[in-house]
Structure 1
Amino acid sequence: MTLINRQNTGPLTGSLLALGVMLALSACGDSQQVSSAKDAAEAPQKAANSLAIWPELVPAIGKDPQLEAKIEALLAPMTLGQKVAQMIQPEIRDITVEDMRKYGFGSYLNGGGAYPNNDKHATPANWVALAEAFYQASVDDSLDGSTIPTMWGTDAVHGHNNVIGATLFPHNIGLGAANNPKLIEKIAAITAKEVMVTGIDWVFAPTVAVVRDDRWGRTYEGYSEDPQIVKAYAYAIVEGLQGAVKGDFLSDQHVISTVKHFLGDGGTEKGVDQGDNLASEQDLYDIHAQGYVGGLNAGAQSVMASFNSWHGVKNHGNPYLLTEVLKGKLGFDGFVVGDWNGHGQVAGCTNESCAQAVNAGLDIFMVPTAAWKPLYENTLAQVENGEISQARIDDAVRRILRVKLRAGLFDKPSPANRPLSADTQLIGHPSHRDIARQAVRESLVLLKNNQSLLPLNPNIKVLVAGDAADNIGKQSGGWTITWQGTDNQNSDFPGASSIYAGIEQRLAQGGGEAILSPRGEFSPEQKPDVAIVVFGEEPYAEGNGDIDNLEYQRGDKRDLALLKKLKAQGIPVVSVFISGRPMWVNPEINQSDAFVAAWLPGSEGQGIADVLFRENDGSLAHDFVGKLSFSWPATPQQTQVNLPLAQHKGTSADYQPLFPYGYGLTYRSGLTDGKALAPLPEDNMATSQALEDLALFERAVKSPWSMYIASKGDWQTLSSSVAENSALKIRTMDRQVQEDARLVQFNGTELGTVGLVSNFPRDFRAYSDADSALSLSIKVDSALNQPLWLGMACEGDCRAQYDISKQVTVGEWNNVSVALNCFVQESMDFGKMVSPFYLATDAKVQLSFSDVLIQANHQAHTIQCN
């Protein structure tokens, strides 16, 4: 599911940054953010529940008395320890084969960027060997007394994307533009085969989020803003992965699927990953639940709980959604698996202890890192003391056993002896790549084609420019070999083709010439007939992709400069835009004669050349068929532009995108109005963007931030009201209301730090571009003769700080406001903020602070810097 990313994310030497402290950045979410009862009290009121909204689905698989009898026969002799072990899912980097033999875990996973033997280039045989070793240990009853087979789960979200040489399909946003459920079913079936080659039983797909705000870093994991496309696709991909319920269901050609993330992950406020969805319950069903209706009707056997909250209640701990709705009204009889330590975010829980999640209906804890062992032990204790009922444990284990029996895991050969295992020719098989290439062709959306520049003849001279032209990793996006899709090179993709390689091959066949120059350089004798410029977003996954508006390359218009340079030389320009979401690219479109939204096409870049060029005889090879499944924004601030549900065949007065849902030109239709696309407005409306103060710590720590303390040898997020390390002690205190401030005692022996941190970088550029400030209320109890640093830190080795020791009066509360321009330095990236506030000192002093916020319109007393 995810990557444990060991980053330098802290602010100061001797504290978080210098320690290079491990922050758990999730493949399906983070693991360190701890909610408290106080946080829950500050959350919006829970929505009134109305079960009548939800349909009673007829289960796709009826109850089988013989199978149920087998479940009971397996369950009856199991010890409590064996049952709880079925509910624990650790990660391959955190357990050994001996751990599996001792505990008999019901399942395990590999996170994004996790490989057998920690080898990125592990072969299919290496994957199978690890699967075989864990399987044999699970059925060995010499230590745990259990012979129940384990199962391995993996994130294969656009093909078997963790494995070198696998076929990588376009990400979901591109597949949504194709609007072809039959193609999706083929893609899923191919993915299942390539997964089974490596001995793996279970896939954490499909994602069925219906995205409402394109600032969300997971937008590309959504098929469409239209719930009906998502519903149809969910059915198709589940059937492709698992097989048809009345056909080859969970045969030796298929894997267990997971419909995720339940529920409402695509509708969080401001598109913040793992944030709060405030939709009404009717909208929760009408918009966000349709993918589950489709997936469950196809017989999906597992559902993954979501990191997000619904009206302030974390879904991992929401019994109404998990039990009453999903298992009750929707009739789901498979199991609910958690996301990457998602249970640790439930109010009152930690990664190591969460009875609330089990009681809410979670059946399997996804618990990477060393937290699995205390979680196992704490869950045992919670059953023994009655905090979790034996009946709830038995229900969870029945569900796990039901799926394992349906999948034939008790009867199938071990992983090394299954029909597809280690059949390496299936990894990236040419027939698989052909389907992926078709998916690329069908996903492309033509937004502009002035003077009918496209399609191009293949006998011309073409300059291929842009940093994505010959970069398979960039065209594939996140969830590609590594979790974030970064740190890859073309040699990591054997058998794949870059976009440039496809163009070069097409021109070679047609008598033309391709000149590769990422920076658009050429000699006078090489002046091209046309330039194809391939550019777009850098790869990202999950919250790392969250942004605060949709302007492309805000503050750094290097790709626009390239387009302008080529246009100034009189060269017709075709832009191929790589992105995980629709973005505001009006200036780039204006500098292009033709503009293609290519999304994240994956490993088969040749598919783009298939559509851009004619056949050698001048006939049309492939036309554009893709249509926007996401409305395209007219301004950077138009982040929630979605076609109204009731009006998919019309428009409404407040629906005014640049390009509407369903838009897409074709060669055959041409310019239907006979006119070229007129120049688009280029005002990014930055000065008119209404900014409000952003509370970071106001009565309580605000999501998505967590409070931490650090010293030279220690870093920890806070999960209780009192904590300490070698440099300081901290506790909650009452200033105006209960626990609305923090009291910190620095002992003066070394540098100590207290601050706020997020497991994902956050975009603060709107504030840094405006007249904003970092503000807090602070009181010191004695004179300061050494610096008291107020600072901020961004992703990577970047931080800036300002000494406020002279700004505070001893013994009284002071309001200190420091302009963000005081924190500007060469390495500071306000688009990737991980710690928007910290205090640090090596002085011996007691201080208190409260009300930390970013002031959008700071006052005259704000400290300014040149």
Structure 2
Amino acid sequence: MTNSARIPLRSTILVLMAYAAATGCTEKAALADEPAESSLATIHPERWPAVTPPSLDPEIEARVDEILARMTLEQKVGQVIQADSASVTPEDIKRYRLGSVLSGGNSAPGPLPYADTQTWLEAADAYYEASIDPEGVEIAIPIIWGIDAVHGHANLKGATVFPHNIGLGAANDPDLIEAIAAATAKELTVSGHDWTFAPTLAVPQNDRWGRTYEGFSEDPRIVASYGGRIVIGLQGTVGERGFMGPGKVIPSAKHFVGDGGTDDGIDQGDALITEEELRDIHAAGYVTAIEAGAQSVMASFSAWNGQRMHGQKALLTDVLKGQMGFNGFVVGDWNGHALIPGCSTTDCPQSLNAGLDMYMAPDSWRGLYESTLRHAKSSTIPMERLDDAVRRILRVKIASGLFEKPKPSERPFAGDTSILGSPEHKALARKAVRQSLVLLKNNGLVLPLDPGLTVLVVGDGADSISKASGGWTLSWQGGGFPNSEFPGGQSILDGIREVVTSAGGAVIHDPEGTSGADADVVIAVYGEDPYAEFQGDRPHVDFTPNGFDTGLLAELGRDGTPIVSVFLSGRPLWTNPEINASDAFVAAWLPGSQGGGVADLLFQTDPNYDFTGRLSFSWPALATDEEVNVTDPSSRPLFPVGYGLSYGQLTEFTKLSEESGLDDEVMAAKGEFFTRGEARQPWSLNTGSGFIGDLPYADDRVVVRAVDESAQEDSLAVSFREPETFSIRSSYPVDFSRESNGAMELVFSAKSMTGSERADVGMGCQDNGCEASLPLSLGSEWSEHRLALSCFAQRGVDMARLDRALIIKGQPGQEIAVGNIRVEADDNGQPDCGSS
């Protein structure tokens, strides 16, 4: 059940946003079925805020002119391309003179998705030295190395992991935010990084979005108050002595623009909203970031009324660079240029011509370099546009001092691991945790607790720093890492132990909550498992318990024992049953590596401490309330933006309704094709002859029957009498382009029923001939198989129009069993394209 109605931004919001108040324009609400070329996709740059960024430095501009005059065309093309460290060598950097390297969420040097300081520095030095090698060029240009340090430098072992942005939004403290940005920048320089892909300035309007926690608030005013302060914390103040000095890095405001407003909260989706909403809600943070001198902006994967941002000249060039005065460079997102109609990962002049200055081409950089060079030679990409892009990149590199700095390992703070998780930084993170917690319920003034009591701690989140930190922590998706991988970190459980044992109390840790131990109070720590980007997209905002059975809360409190819930989540979720079963309920969001901050407020370890966090997102009254926002006065949330209790506020409330509002049958997750013995809508079983109804099924060419893998009739066996195909098919095309672009795999269990043999397994799209198969060796026992979606895309399957999620091509005499067919994240970072 989806609430797809949209209410245009009310004029009262315009009054609240000073920079937009003078525009005086009101546009009609967007219609979801309007064509992209309609007036709803027309931009009026003059109606956007005119921003005054710091003035250009004449000395820097003169130096840019001098460098540009000495560069070859090949060097210029190299500068506009960024490659991922998993797919590019130092030798490649020297040969192609690439402008930048990034390390994606799973692309640290070495065997793990994260690395220690020395490993990072060795890689940083190798890339840097290759970039400044003067052989064969008149002038060599240093690279910049970027990484997603979105809540601390969380791909560096030992770094401080701060609360995710959703919690920092609840703190509503710009001074705190600037201090966190400065601490993150300093830790980045320890490993030799120049650039972080932060701040995220999205204004999420649909909490089903998997990146909701990367946004500070649904309220554009909070986001605007943070944008400039984060930029200053990361790079310093333009024109002052400390700007881009020791311990400072280049920021990147992202993702321009509208990523938080996509229809149904779909990551990389389409924002079907008016220009007014796009400007006044979703551009709010960019105004202050540009005013503070942000040196780079990342273009969004998403589209606005059918037009992809990576190809949006009106927004990237006319608005951002023109009306808003942005004079840094625009970088793309992970192969985001490939989503433009007519483009591919290796060929897209349209994006550079639209205003992108640096392609993010993680694994496609080589082919993109060759095609971009051809387009520059043929003037498909005008030399004036290429020179402008290179000028903007050089401007940032010069302003950042890269031409004067030594190699990364010799810069100030490089290799100084005492900075990582330093007492100062840990204290800052712990303070941020305290300020981010929001007390939603405190019946009977249960909190603060007496630390001298016997405390029973339950729930899978209590002793897991990894779960409390969420996605973008040690790996892209986060989760699953032991506490030992967070040196200097403290779990929520250890924070509780620290307080209670020092006061003479006792802590009993029972993760499953089934020990039956007697205690004076129960603290339950549970919530969402970690996720990142589109893998966190949801069909609704109902909390689905995982790792801990929240149904036990009522049983644990049956004898009157107070129940205190500490809820970990990357978004507000419908938790009425859990709130009802709790005497106190704390929205802890994703607090990071300093769990002691939670204990500080549960037990008020200092008389000056209190719950000061206030909701920066509306809390849903129903599991269908994914779009209840402060920008919509008709919204009726359970708890509005700004809600939050302090210790002494007695706000007893009675039992909440436990009717979720969901229909009895909720559509299965998009990534499930055939699970638990059933095809998931809109997918069905088919042969070359057509649709398969009830099982068993037989015709002259194939027999399909139910078989058991891990449960009764949870899988299928397909016996081939003649050459034939069996498929899991949809009656209409489904867009899996973002999954293909995002390290996802087709995963299924399979075995041969007739002895070990080879099978051809494929995927296909709606157009004739649009399919590809990969070879697979099957044994006589069940085993899991994983095939990268990107492998099918590279072989010609249009993943934006997928209509066959699995194709098995069989030969006479073969019988192949298959089950649990789905899409999941790549489990090892290495694309698997089958085996012969």
TM over 0.5: yes
Quote the residue 1:570 is aligned against: 560
1:620 Cα deviation from its structure 2 partner: 3.3
In 1, distance between residues paired with 2:295 and 2:380? 28
Q: Contact 1:790–1:838 (CA<8 Å) still a contact in 2?
A: no
Q: What do residues 87-108 of structure 1 show as CA deviations (whole Å, max 9, x unaligned)?
A: 1111111111111221221110
Quote the residue 1:657 is aligned against: 637
Matched, 1:687 2:663: yes
1:803 Cα deviation from its structure 2 partner: 7.2
1:299 Cα deviation from its structure 2 partner: 0.6
Local SS of the residue matching 2:663: helix
Quote the residue 1:210 is aligned against: 203
Decide which moves more: 381-390 or 115-124.
115-124
Quote the residue 1:434 is aligned against: 427
Taking a change above 3 Å as real, the CA distance of residues 816 and 275 of structure 1, as seen in their structure-2 partners, is closer
Taking only aligned residues, the RMSD between alpha carbons, in angstroms, comes to 3.4
Q: What do residues 280-309 of structure 1 show as CA deviations (whole Å, max 9, x unaligned)?
A: 111111000001001101110000001000
Local SS of the residue matching 2:550: helix
In 2, distance between residues paired with 1:467 and 1:557? 6
Local SS of the residue matching 1:118: coil
Q: Contact 2:218–2:629 (CA<8 Å) still a contact in 1?
A: yes
Quote the residue 2:75 is aligned against: 82
In 2, distance between residues paired with 1:520 and 1:415? 49
Partner AA of 1:354 in structure 2: C
Decide which moves more: 654-663 or 761-770.
761-770
Matching of residues 331-480 of structure 1 within 5 Å: 331-369=325-363, 371-480=364-473
- Aligned partner of 2:265 among 243, 265, 271: 271
Q: Contact 1:785–1:843 (CA<8 Å) still a contact in 2?
A: no
Quote the residue 1:535 is aligned against: 526
- Aligned partner of 2:292 among 283, 298, 302: 298
Quote the residue 2:146 is aligned against: 153
- Aligned partner of 1:189 among 182, 188, 194: 182
Matched, 1:787 2:707: no
Matched, 1:287 2:281: yes
- Aligned partner of 2:807 among 840, 843, 846: 840
Partner AA of 2:458 in structure 1: A
Partner AA of 2:628 in structure 1: V
1:146 Cα deviation from its structure 2 partner: 3.8
Local SS of the residue matching 1:559: coil
Q: Contact 1:543–1:761 (CA<8 Å) still a contact in 2?
A: no
Matched, 1:68 2:58: no
Q: Contact 1:101–1:144 (CA<8 Å) still a contact in 2?
A: no
In 2, distance between residues paired with 1:509 and 1:229? 38
Quote the residue 1:11 is aligned against: none
Local SS of the residue matching 1:686: coil
Q: Contact 2:512–2:549 (CA<8 Å) still a contact in 1?
A: no
Local SS of the residue matching 1:76: helix
Partner AA of 1:82 in structure 2: Q
Q: Contact 1:547–1:762 (CA<8 Å) still a contact in 2?
A: no
Q: What do residues 604-647 of structure 1 show as CA deviations (whole Å, max 9, x unaligned)?
A: 000000001044xxx735110000000000000010000136xx
Local SS of the residue matching 2:441: strand
Quote the residue 1:163 is aligned against: 156
Partner AA of 1:352 in structure 2: T
Report the count of equivalent residues.
700
1:800 Cα deviation from its structure 2 partner: 5.7
Taking a change above 3 Å as real, the CA distance of residues 394 and 614 of structure 1, as seen in their structure-2 partners, is closer
Q: Contact 2:676–2:715 (CA<8 Å) still a contact in 1?
A: no
Quote the residue 2:621 is aligned against: 634
Quote the residue 1:757 is aligned against: none
Taking a change above 3 Å as real, the CA distance of residues 266 and 769 of structure 1, as seen in their structure-2 partners, is farther
Q: What do residues 698-726 of structure 1 show as CA deviations (whole Å, max 9, x unaligned)?
A: xxxxxxxxxxxxxxxxxxxxxxxxxxxxx
Local SS of the residue matching 1:531: strand
Taking a change above 3 Å as real, the CA distance of residues 781 and 223 of structure 1, as seen in their structure-2 partners, is closer
Partner AA of 2:586 in structure 1: V
In 1, distance between residues paired with 2:730 and 2:388? 54
1:119 Cα deviation from its structure 2 partner: 4.2
Local SS of the residue matching 2:41: coil
Matching of residues 711-726 of structure 1 within 5 Å: none
Partner AA of 2:119 in structure 1: N
Quote the residue 2:550 is aligned against: 560
Quote the residue 1:314 is aligned against: 308
Taking a change above 3 Å as real, the CA distance of residues 686 and 769 of structure 1, as seen in their structure-2 partners, is farther
Decide which moves more: 452-461 or 568-577.
568-577
In 1, distance between residues paired with 2:512 and 2:555? 10
1:473 Cα deviation from its structure 2 partner: 0.1
Quote the residue 1:91 is aligned against: 84
Quote the residue 1:330 is aligned against: 324
In 2, distance between residues paired with 1:547 and 1:573? 29
1:562 Cα deviation from its structure 2 partner: 2.3
Q: What do residues 790-843 of structure 1 show as CA deviations (whole Å, max 9, x unaligned)?
A: 99xxxxxx996697999xxx9xxx9989xxxxx999999xxxx99884353435
Partner AA of 1:270 in structure 2: D
Q: Contact 2:187–2:247 (CA<8 Å) still a contact in 1?
A: no
In 1, distance between residues paired with 2:598 and 2:294? 33
TM-score normalised by structure 2 residue count: 0.78
1:685 Cα deviation from its structure 2 partner: 2.3
Partner AA of 2:562 in structure 1: P
Matching of residues 761-840 of structure 1 within 5 Å: 762=671, 774=683, 780=689, 785-787=700-702, 837-838=804-805, 840=807
Taking a change above 3 Å as real, the CA distance of residues 389 and 789 of structure 1, as seen in their structure-2 partners, is farther
- Aligned partner of 1:47 among 38, 41, 50: 41
Partner AA of 1:131 in structure 2: A
1:690 Cα deviation from its structure 2 partner: 9.3
1:244 Cα deviation from its structure 2 partner: 1.2
Taking a change above 3 Å as real, the CA distance of residues 297 and 85 of structure 1, as seen in their structure-2 partners, is same
Decide which moves more: 128-137 or 455-464.
128-137
In 2, distance between residues paired with 1:213 and 1:816? 28
Local SS of the residue matching 2:478: coil
1:137 Cα deviation from its structure 2 partner: 0.9
Quote the residue 2:744 is aligned against: none
- Aligned partner of 2:535 among 521, 544, 550: 544
Local SS of the residue matching 2:567: strand
Q: What do residues 475-503 of structure 1 show as CA deviations (whole Å, max 9, x unaligned)?
A: 00000001100231111001100000000
Taking a change above 3 Å as real, the CA distance of residues 250 and 765 of structure 1, as seen in their structure-2 partners, is farther
Taking a change above 3 Å as real, the CA distance of residues 638 and 689 of structure 1, as seen in their structure-2 partners, is farther
In 2, distance between residues paired with 1:189 and 1:148? 27
Partner AA of 2:655 in structure 1: P
Quote the residue 1:608 is aligned against: 598
Taking a change above 3 Å as real, the CA distance of residues 660 and 816 of structure 1, as seen in their structure-2 partners, is closer
In 2, distance between residues paired with 1:116 and 1:177? 35
Q: What do residues 210-255 of structure 1 show as CA deviations (whole Å, max 9, x unaligned)?
A: 0000000000000001101101111111110010124222112211
Local SS of the residue matching 1:328: helix
Taking a change above 3 Å as real, the CA distance of residues 58 and 594 of structure 1, as seen in their structure-2 partners, is same
Q: Contact 2:573–2:623 (CA<8 Å) still a contact in 1?
A: yes
Taking a change above 3 Å as real, the CA distance of residues 564 and 488 of structure 1, as seen in their structure-2 partners, is same
Higher relative contact order (CA 8 A, sep 6+): 1
Local SS of the residue matching 2:557: helix
Taking a change above 3 Å as real, the CA distance of residues 275 and 765 of structure 1, as seen in their structure-2 partners, is farther
Taking a change above 3 Å as real, the CA distance of residues 121 and 66 of structure 1, as seen in their structure-2 partners, is closer
TM-score normalised by structure 1 residue count: 0.76
Local SS of the residue matching 1:186: helix
In 2, distance between residues paired with 1:244 and 1:397? 24
